[in-house]
Structure 1
Amino acid sequence: MTATQYFLSLFVLWIITVFIQYIFKRPGKKLAGYCPPPSPPALPLIGHLHLLNPVAYKGFHALSNKYGPLLYLRLVSYHVVLVSSAPVATQIFKALDVHFASRIKSPFEDNLLFGSSTSFFNAPYGDYWKFMKKICTTELLGTRQMKKLKNVRREEVVRFLSKMLKIGKKNEVADLSVEVLTVANNGTCRMIMSARCSGEDNQAEKCRALVSESFDLAAKLALFNVFGPLKRIGIWYLRKKIDDVPKRYDELFEKVLVEHEEKAKREGPTMEKKDLMDILLEVYHDENAEIRITRKQMKNFFLDLFIAGTSTTADAILWILAELVNNPAAYKKLREEIDSVVGTERLVDEADIPNLPYFQACVKEAMRLNPPAPLFDRICRENCKLAGYDIPKGTTMIMNTYAIMRDPEIWDSPK
């Protein structure tokens, strides 16, 4: 039997299995007063899958425009509630934040890449998640730490601009997507572990490819996850990449962890200039720590920060540049503001930003139109009421920031 025939047989088996379940499964009696969110017309077996298009967030946006800002959807065996309204999203993250503090279970199971039990990104709401969030906000994103790392960010920007000038003087073509990703990559790595992950020998391209592979792999597994029990077929089909991509990340982080441990042994407890990795290693070796973390949890935490800080930052910068290129009048006005406030003798500094209101407006508008994370999820941890509708425990919530940022009831010129 060929591979095509094999997968065709499995697909037919899946259709038969789901069809039998559909015939014999009887809907339970609804409780009196139970009010679920509205739902578009669905088809047998596939549910609302036929209503989507290849770009998921745009398909969801079209659905919300037609049927409303809060919808119940069934995507084959996957049940979700789609949120496309700012007031409803505000209610989720303010009034009901504890109810929706957890994310969906990762399709990677306990793998290093987005593992369910080791990843901060996918960790359930609890002591570990709260501890890692506290570490992240105080030791990486806190005001004191951000000021401390200001020179790191500036050095990477200067390095990037110097390279662009050299390329320009030679009349060569620059691949901005690669160069901007390198800036974001190096800045994130240096802030987390005091090391540049994108050096010479085409390391920048390797890191870019690794991040790209990660998102591609996650998207494919998420798609297979929709098909319920048969997701195991997808895991088997992608087994080589599921093993290979995390292994390459593991080698990178293990090497840096060992270097930090050796440095800590040399300098002792009086070591200065500790980065986030040094702080977590202290927690890892402290038997009396508030939370005992494993080496795998540390690596997964760094991986979460690495991927989130690299791809989203680079994408945001590229979209801002693209919007300015497509709006020459706005670009000219921005240049005039920078020249009047900063001048032409020095680079823009982070301290100049409060005095550049039009610059801030350009950045916010570009990110409104092109949010780095157009879709994100949450899990309802207990039964609750949302916008007058009943949301049962375990429901997957999908927030469509792309649609929210184009809501005509909020924005004067949404598009």
Structure 2
Amino acid sequence: MDKAPPFLLLLLVVILFFILYRIFRHYLGQKSSKLPPGPHQYPIVGNMFQLSGIFHSTLAKLSKTYGPLMSIKVLNRRMIIVSSPKVAKELLQKHDHLYTSKLVLDSARAFDYHKFSIIWLPVNGQWHNLRKLCKEQIFSSERLNASQGLRQEKLQQLCNYVDGCCINGEAVDIGEAAFTTILNILSNTLFSVDFGNYESNSSRELKEIISGVVDTIAKPNLSDFFPVLRAIDPLGIRRQTKFYFGKLLQKFEEIIRQRLQEREKSLAYLRRNDLLEVLLDLTQQQKSEWGIEEIKHLLLDLFLAAFDTTSSTVEWAIAELLRNPEKMERARSEIREIIGRGKLVQESQIFALPYLQAIIKEVFRLYPPATTISRYYEADIEIGQYIVPKNALVLVNLWAIGRDSSLWSSPDSFVPERFLDSEIDVKGQHFELLPFGTGRRMCLGMPLADRFIHLTVASLIHNFDWKTEGGIKPEDVDMSEKLGVTMQKAVPLKAIPTRTTV
């Protein structure tokens, strides 16, 4: 990838000193305001050098000193950190009407992604149309129920692959296997084709592209703090994002072009029951606001949102069950009591597996797919004796809430039993547990992700037992996390499956 020439770094220094007066004035002006408490802020840099390491865990440590509503500053940006469900509920629910569009990261401007993406669009007509389309054509209960057969087929392929590894004594990369499974579920939902193969590198290549996007977006970018630098992209982050976006958009364009040719030239064309067929129908309607660019960017949204979160959650779940074999055995016994041996778990049977549900909730508590929820508000908001200033970046630290000792006993321990006989769910109404967010910006893919995660974990433990690769003791499995905007294991989990005999 291209690196910024040295003269650009020199230019950056000049620009920083040029705006020194403005920053100092802003810094001094905030001292007399009713901002929430926070660590001492240094001129120009603010708290930047106090935020090293894993961002959400560093914020959690600071919040133990300064409270559940904390103010920090990074360069010229004010951030308000929320670390309690009570404050989160007041901001995310009571003041939702003051929510304004998200800050558009400079990396999201590659290929004008921010002008098409449901992730970055403000709440306007285009955004509502996209959400309505996704809800009705992909994630509605009716659509999901109709496509159960597809998910069962792909889960059976996963089990067949694991069974082959049993025979050969090979280790399974849990995250990669889960990624291939959800990849094929989504690619068939969208295009009626498989994108991945357990025995080839095709899934790995796509995972590297998607991980590349996520990792690049996670990097601190000076252009986000100083918009005047966007023209030169001093750290090359937008160029890196464009590289990865380009690979995905090119793949989508090839599929769209081929489908259009089939629709136009073949008299015997058989319609597919997939999203692409629906989207192409929309583009051919009179006065349609849909075009090929809109289709490609919607597909990009769906791919980026689906993979790291769902496959990583499965990986965290199996890792914790490996470290807690008695809990894996309890879950397996529950499944066999309801389902029996040698059968795939059906989606309609998930409700009858309370311990499995408790396991997934506990994984969400410890390892939320996105560690923070971000918001901007168009007006000052009063919370108790403090003011959350308009246009500040508000971050709700889900990771901190999930490990708060005032909310959870033994907060760092894996204890699914805490969710048995508990009414807490993940649908956005219980602010102790918000893995999919809440309100208007809640993750649209929650219904599919929730089904997939339960079914995949159940499939992997139902008829297979697991042991760590290389003779590592279960309690020594590396549970460190990777730096990024999503919760991923730093060291991929590889485990050897064996057929259960009991």
TM-score normalised by L of structure 1: 0.88
One-letter identity of the residue aligned with 1:96: H
**Residue deviations 1:11-51, cap 9 Å, x none?**
643553354544566855999xx633333211111101122
- Check 1:74–1:221 CA distance in 2 against 1; reply closer, same or farther (3 A cut): closer
Which residue does 1:134 correspond to in 2?
132
d(CA) in 2 for partners of 1:239, 1:362: 39
Alpha-carbon distance, 1:222 to partner: 4.2
- Check 1:209–1:29 CA distance in 2 against 1; reply closer, same or farther (3 A cut): closer
Alpha-carbon distance, 1:243 to partner: 3.4
d(CA) in 1 for partners of 2:27, 2:206: 50
1:344 paired with 2:349, answer: no
d(CA) in 2 for partners of 1:101, 1:277: 31
**Where do 1:48-59 residues align within 5 Å?**
48-59=47-58
d(CA) in 2 for partners of 1:29, 1:294: 46
Alpha-carbon distance, 1:402 to partner: 0.5
d(CA) in 2 for partners of 1:266, 1:246: 30
Alpha-carbon distance, 1:386 to partner: 3.9
The alignment-based identity, stated in percent, is: 25
Which residue does 1:246 correspond to in 2?
245
1:169 paired with 2:167, answer: yes
Alpha-carbon distance, 1:234 to partner: 4.0
- Check 1:137–1:388 CA distance in 2 against 1; reply closer, same or farther (3 A cut): farther
Alpha-carbon distance, 1:407 to partner: 2.3
One-letter identity of the residue aligned with 2:17: I
Which residue does 2:157 correspond to in 1?
159
The answer to whether the 8 Å contact 2:222/2:235 transfers is no
One-letter identity of the residue aligned with 2:14: L
d(CA) in 2 for partners of 1:272, 1:148: 17
1:79 paired with 2:89, answer: no
**Where do 1:96-107 residues align within 5 Å?**
96-100=95-99, 102-107=101-106
Q: Give the number of equivalent residue pairs.
A: 408
One-letter identity of the residue aligned with 1:225: D
Residue among 365, 369, 379 paired with 1:368: 365
Residue among 398, 401, 405 paired with 2:402: 405
- Check 1:204–1:313 CA distance in 2 against 1; reply closer, same or farther (3 A cut): same
Q: Secondary structure at the match of 1:120?
A: coil
One-letter identity of the residue aligned with 1:357: P
The answer to whether the 8 Å contact 1:221/1:235 transfers is no
The answer to whether the 8 Å contact 1:76/1:227 transfers is no
d(CA) in 1 for partners of 2:239, 2:34: 45
Alpha-carbon distance, 1:84 to partner: 1.4
One-letter identity of the residue aligned with 2:179: L
Alpha-carbon distance, 1:175 to partner: 2.2
The answer to whether the 8 Å contact 2:222/2:234 transfers is no
The answer to whether the 8 Å contact 1:224/1:231 transfers is yes
1:304 paired with 2:305, answer: no
The answer to whether the 8 Å contact 1:51/1:63 transfers is no
Which residue does 2:41 correspond to in 1?
42
Residue among 171, 178, 181 paired with 1:180: 178
Which residue does 1:150 correspond to in 2?
148
- Check 1:389–1:410 CA distance in 2 against 1; reply closer, same or farther (3 A cut): same
- Check 1:21–1:93 CA distance in 2 against 1; reply closer, same or farther (3 A cut): closer
The answer to whether the 8 Å contact 2:107/2:238 transfers is no
**70-79 vs 358-367, greater mean Cα deviation:** 70-79
Gaps of 5+ in 1: none
- Check 1:247–1:279 CA distance in 2 against 1; reply closer, same or farther (3 A cut): same
The answer to whether the 8 Å contact 2:77/2:392 transfers is no
**Residue deviations 1:337-369, cap 9 Å, x none?**
112111113122212211111111011101110
- Check 1:359–1:168 CA distance in 2 against 1; reply closer, same or farther (3 A cut): same
**329-338 vs 271-280, greater mean Cα deviation:** 271-280
Alpha-carbon distance, 1:217 to partner: 1.6
- Check 1:273–1:335 CA distance in 2 against 1; reply closer, same or farther (3 A cut): same
- Check 1:134–1:101 CA distance in 2 against 1; reply closer, same or farther (3 A cut): farther
d(CA) in 1 for partners of 2:368, 2:376: 21
One-letter identity of the residue aligned with 1:309: A
- Check 1:266–1:388 CA distance in 2 against 1; reply closer, same or farther (3 A cut): farther
d(CA) in 1 for partners of 2:235, 2:48: 24
One-letter identity of the residue aligned with 2:400: A
Alpha-carbon distance, 1:106 to partner: 2.7
The answer to whether the 8 Å contact 1:139/1:276 transfers is yes
Alpha-carbon distance, 1:387 to partner: 4.7
- Check 1:314–1:233 CA distance in 2 against 1; reply closer, same or farther (3 A cut): same
- Check 1:390–1:294 CA distance in 2 against 1; reply closer, same or farther (3 A cut): farther
Alpha-carbon distance, 1:398 to partner: 1.3
One-letter identity of the residue aligned with 1:127: G
Gaps of 5+ in 2: 413-502
Q: Secondary structure at the match of 1:108?
A: helix
Q: Secondary structure at the match of 2:97?
A: coil
Which residue does 2:68 correspond to in 1?
69
Alpha-carbon distance, 1:389 to partner: 3.4
**Residue deviations 1:176-201, cap 9 Å, x none?**
22222111222222223322222475
One-letter identity of the residue aligned with 1:395: A
- Check 1:25–1:390 CA distance in 2 against 1; reply closer, same or farther (3 A cut): closer
Alpha-carbon distance, 1:208 to partner: 0.9
Q: Secondary structure at the match of 2:360?
A: helix
d(CA) in 1 for partners of 2:77, 2:15: 15
**Residue deviations 1:151-186, cap 9 Å, x none?**
111111111111111122111232222222111222
One-letter identity of the residue aligned with 1:184: I
- Check 1:48–1:288 CA distance in 2 against 1; reply closer, same or farther (3 A cut): same
**Residue deviations 1:361-395, cap 9 Å, x none?**
01110111000111231221334334553334322
Q: Secondary structure at the match of 2:106?
A: coil
d(CA) in 2 for partners of 1:27, 1:174: 56
One-letter identity of the residue aligned with 2:129: F
- Check 1:386–1:154 CA distance in 2 against 1; reply closer, same or farther (3 A cut): farther
d(CA) in 2 for partners of 1:25, 1:397: 18
